[in-house]
Amino acid sequence: MLLRSLATVILLGLVVVKPGIAQRSPVPADSTKAATVRRLMELTKTGEAIVRGMEAAVPAQRRAYPDVPDEVWDAFLARARQKLPQIVDSLVPVYATRFSQAELNELIKFFSSPVGRHLSDAQPEMLRESLEIGGRWGEIIGREIRDSLARAGGPSAEFALQSQMKSDLRNLITAEEAFFADSVKYTTVRSGEAGWPSTTSTAC
């Protein structure tokens, strides 16, 4: 899907920049084509999709990097929303390079139709749900790989145990902060108690 793929690429581009990858150089668009592209992005709600993609990805980043203060992530999202017009403007040559004026006109015709508007309305939420599903599958696959490495023994098993321990600690921190937010105190539960699994019990 055009909008979902575009928003995902933008989100990844804000986090990781990899040099040396061959890219198609965008070309400047004339005023007519630029206006057509902006109209298309308005119809497809590209800006809204970018913001929602960031908002959906940040919670996972908070869990992955618990040492980063919450205000940093909040500031990131606030700055991203502030910069959104510039981000959207920077996409104009990306579209202009890949679509002719006639193709852009056809896309606008589609996204102006009832089914096109329905697709545009549905895609931001579809993006959010897709990211959540992808995150859950990532956790499942990661857990399966850790278990497989643990069973293999040797250095791989040690790596798997360390990885599981770090995951347990991140989950514990998240659970403790949620409990503190509700109760204004931390729990006294130790690893292996009250249903909280210890690393040694889950890595074999």
Which has the higher per-residue pLDDT, 114 or 189?
Answer: 114
Residue 197: how many CB atoms within 10 A of its CB? 13
What pLDDT, on the 0 to 100 scale, is given for residue 26? 62
Residue 9: DSSP 8-state: H
Q: pLDDT at residue 64 above 60?
A: yes
Assign 59 to helix, strand or coil.
helix
The pTM assigned to this predicted structure is 0.54
Average pLDDT for the chain: 74
- Kindly state the tokens that stand for 184: 């204004």
Query: Which is more confidently placed, 46 or 186?
Result: 46
Cα distance between residue 100 and residue 30, in whole Å: 12
The predicted pLDDT at position 96 comes to: 92
Domain-by-domain residue ranges, the chain? 2-139, 153-202
- pLDDT at residue 39 in the model: 95
Task: Using the CB atoms, write b or e for 134-153: b if 16+ within 10 Å.
Answer: eeeeeeeeeeeebeebbeee
Percent of the chain at pLDDT > 90 equals 21
CB distance 68 to 62 below 8 Å: yes
User: Could you tell me the CA-to-CA distances from 138 to 27, 141, 144 in Å, in that order?
Assistant: 37, 5, 10
Q: Among residues of the chain, what percentage have pLDDT more than 70?
A: 61
Of residues 46 and 20, more confidence is placed in 46
Q: Tell me the per-residue pLDDT of 109-163, one tens digit each, with 9 for 90 and over.
A: 999 999 999 998 888 788 778 878 887 888 788 778 777 777 776 666 666 666 6
